[in-house]
Structure 1
């Protein structure tokens, strides 16, 4: 069962809201796909089936990372002796959470984990037509441990790898500056003929030594052009922009480190809470 998705809304922070929770039985992998996977022992063959069934269309190394993620889920379900329905649903849950993670470059780890718990709860409690009891309480604990130790533990790496990079493109316009007067009108054909005639006459009547002395004298007397006011202004602005970009990059790196520390603390608390009491 799969409900048609609607256009996603955005939160006050600009983050896209996760899609509505829905039952995901055979949403991405059909019964025949799971039957084919169960009959396959080779990991490359499992990856080939997942590549075709999930319609993964992206270049390396993203393709290899995704196939490894989904293949490990299949191996985990085999180890726990889960049914084909359970394996298909777990693959779809991780696929949907990964899509929510990579839809924004902002840190939405809490939103991703909340969406994961809602999806898992939707397949663990019998309340038709809103949810079904596909997973037991013990299986929910095992799946949550696995999801935390595999996906959420490397949440930042998945976001960095699969989220499109954002670049700052700055365009500067100068107001109040005089327009450049370097361009000159091209000479007419008559002026060019007169200039050629004069050059020929000078070349015939002048000696080589006098020409060389005159040329060197002219070169020494010609003043070198200094930097224009527009070039100086551009250099100052570029320097200020570069310093500001470096400052913003340092602040962003500090915030990312703080977010990773908070995520690590939250994951440690979750692992402690889901461990069975002795």
Structure 2
């Protein structure tokens, strides 16, 4: 492992101390994950991070359960759980569903309102048509030719309007039906996505529980071995995180901000992986 500092200095080794620099842990972790950093920034030449490194890249680790640490350790070793096959299948299925929640309520309300308006217009024109036909019949009985012509002309105009409104009403019906189908598909898709999300979460929990159970004895041994290295009391979370790193199979460096070990070389030796100490 080589660390290239912005001032041109190069540090090399399995354990490298950067406590004399002002780099934040996040900056160092990012450089581990991205070896192509700009030349004027921190650059770290190291193996590509392994599986599980995303969880254990930095110690101490807060708010991470032993189950998640155990899973990171197991994945770094290439281990699988009894639910992995189903988990992969469910994850692939879930990836097919877009993470969108289209809201059809507004267009549906507008489409229903437009259909109701077109229906009201059509009903009004039909009533007017019936009324005009009654008037036309009465004018014919009375033999009033002028009134007949005027009513007939008005009836033709109303019939034209009715035809247009019927066309609008049919279009509004089709638009509403299409929106309702789309809304149903969206609801079904959302429901299936939520079902798959829950299923994936359940399988992941089962995998974490499996790894925690199968690695429990190794964790106990690793914690005991580490505790024996120091006469000072170390909080359980830090000790468990260090035990997880010790158990993991990593080639990429881990960034450490704790002072459990005397120096970076000692940390790398006992954790059996490259270590950058801040």
User: What band does the TM-score fall into relative to the shorter chain?
Assistant: under 0.3
Q: Which has the higher strand share?
A: 2
By relative contact order (CA 8 Å, sep 6+), the higher-ranking structure is 2
TM-score normalized with structure 1 length: 0.27
TM-score normalized with structure 2 length: 0.27
